[in-house]
């Protein structure tokens, strides 16, 4: 299902075992909420009007719910549901955003695994922002998700496309050093199943959709000490932190080594630290 080109893109690490699901920290993740929300806003502008009103909307891998709330803001009459695996994220999302919406619709959050998620009723919009990279099998679900859309409905997603960037390459390399390999092999190189934009375009057009796919590199200017480390603590480092668990000494030692490598590649300048971040976008509209 996954192309050889996509599989070859990431620095290799010997995968000794399949890492367990990472635990998430909504507070850490939200530290860069502005930079993280911008790509979603760019995606949202390209999502066309929905075929029915009130619409039915799903947000797969909704995280802390702030992005799901933006969907409910654009379609306030809709019944919008965010699905996620992480109890921590679902708790935060429910506390902050669940309830009736201004247009008579509703916003709720439910446990759900994208890996086997299927539309349980016809949807007008299925969205996923910065989550499908955690689900290697996601292209295999496209047909079922598009089948579950109403005619004229849309499937839209955004994923990071920066897995060959130094931040991720250094993480994979460090996990694979003799010091860490026995505990962390494979934890820094989890994203081998992402496709390139042209491959997403081909798959979605083959399913009969009108498709737009594009990529953007955001040159993010981050503030504070070691901001790239703080950024990845909210996402790519989750599997490593989960694997090291309560071993505070190991966490400290790993973070120090990783921080030093990051500092060399992302130096701090007078106005902050530039952290280029490539992202891939797709909007697929089912035939009306």
Ligand X SMILES: C[S@@+](CC[C@H](N)C(=O)[O-])C[C@H]1O[C@@H](n2cnc3c(N)ncnc32)[C@H](O)[C@@H]1O
Residues 6+ apart with CB under 8 A from 116: none
Instruction: Return the residue of 10, 19, 32, 36 that touches ligand X, per CB under 6 A.
Output: 36
Query: What are the beta bridge partners of residue 149?
Result: 123
CB 129 within 8 A of CB 39: yes
How far separated are the first and last CA of the chain, in Å rounded? 28
Q: Which of 241, 232, 238 is nearest to 168 (CA)?
A: 232
Instruction: Return the residue of 13, 58, 62, 282 that touches ligand X, per CB under 6 A.
Output: 62
Strand order through the sheet with 149-160: 99-100, 106-111, 79-84, 56-60, 123-129, 149-160, 273-285, 210-222
Q: Kindly tell me which of 96 and 257 has the beta carbon lying closer to ligand X.
A: 96
Segment holding 206, helix H or strand E: helix 197-206
Q: Kindly tell me which of 51 and 82 has the beta carbon lying closer to ligand X.
A: 82
CA angle, 51 then 280 then 140, to 5°: 70
CA angle, 93 then 118 then 65, to 5°: 10
Instruction: Return the residue of 10, 47, 72, 89 that touches ligand X, per CB under 6 A.
Output: 89
Residue 131 is a binding residue for ligand X (CB under 6 A): yes
* Nearest distance from C-beta of residue 209 to ligand X, angstroms: 22
Instruction: Return the residue of 13, 24, 97, 168 that touches ligand X, per CB under 6 A.
Output: 24
Residues 6+ apart with CB under 8 A from 214: 197, 280, 281
* Nearest distance from C-beta of residue 267 to ligand X, angstroms: 26
Per the structure block, which two tokens stand in for 102? 């201004």
Name residues contacting ligand X, limited to 227-256 (CB under 6 A): 235
User: Which single residue brings its beta carbon nearest to ligand X?
Assistant: 63
Instruction: Return the residue of 130, 172, 222, 280 that touches ligand X, per CB under 6 A.
Output: 130
User: Of the ranges 123-131, 142-150, 176-184, 252-260, which one interacts with ligand X (CB under 6 A)?
Assistant: 123-131
Residue 194 is a binding residue for ligand X (CB under 6 A): no
Number of residues that bind ligand X (CB under 6 A): 21
Q: Kindly tell me which of 35 and 263 has the beta carbon lying closer to ligand X.
A: 35
CB 118 within 8 A of CB 148: yes
Q: Kindly tell me which of 180 and 277 has the beta carbon lying closer to ligand X.
A: 277
Q: Kindly tell me which of 26 and 51 has the beta carbon lying closer to ligand X.
A: 26
Instruction: Return the residue of 67, 107, 204, 284 that touches ligand X, per CB under 6 A.
Output: 67
Residue 86 is a binding residue for ligand X (CB under 6 A): yes
Q: Which residues bind ligand X (CB under 6 A)?
A: 24, 36, 40, 61-63, 67, 84-86, 89, 112-115, 129-131, 134-135, 235
């Amino acid at each position: 299902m996954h192309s050889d080109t996509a599989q070859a893109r990431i620095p290799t690490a010997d995968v000794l075992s399949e890492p367990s699901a990472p635990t998430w920290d909504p507070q850490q993740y939200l530290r860069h909420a502005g930079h993280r929300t911008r790509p979603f806003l760019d995606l949202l502008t390209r999502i066309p009007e929905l075929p029915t009103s009130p619409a039915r909307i799903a947000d797969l891998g909704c995280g802390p719910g702030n992005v799901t709330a933006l969907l409910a803001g654009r379609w306030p009459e809709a019944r919008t549901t965010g699905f996620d695996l992480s109890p921590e994220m679902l708790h935060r999302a429910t506390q902050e955003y669940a309830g009736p919406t201004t247009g008579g619709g509703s916003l709720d959050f439910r446990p759900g695994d994208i890996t086997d998620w299927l539309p349980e009723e016809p949807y007008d919009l299925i969205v996923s922002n910065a989550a499908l990279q955690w689900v290697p099998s996601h292209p295999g679900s496209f047909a079922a998700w598009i089948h579950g859309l109403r005619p004229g409905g849309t499937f839209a997603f955004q994923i990071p496309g920066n897995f060959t960037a130094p931040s991720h390459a250094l993480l994979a390399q460090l996990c694979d050093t003799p010091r860490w390999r026995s505990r962390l092999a494979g934890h820094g190189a989890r994203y081998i199943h992402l496709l390139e934009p042209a491959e997403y375009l081909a798959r979605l057009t083959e399913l009969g959709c009108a498709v737009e796919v594009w990529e953007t590199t955001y040159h993010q200017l981050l503030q504070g000490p070691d901001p790239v480390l703080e950024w990845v603590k909210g996402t790519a480092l989750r599997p490593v932190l989960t694997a090291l668990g309560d071993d505070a000494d190991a966490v400290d030692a790993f973070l120090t080594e990783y921080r030093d490598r990051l500092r060399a590649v992302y130096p701090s300048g007078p106005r902050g630290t530039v952290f280029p971040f490539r992202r891939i976008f797709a909007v697929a509209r089912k035939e009306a």
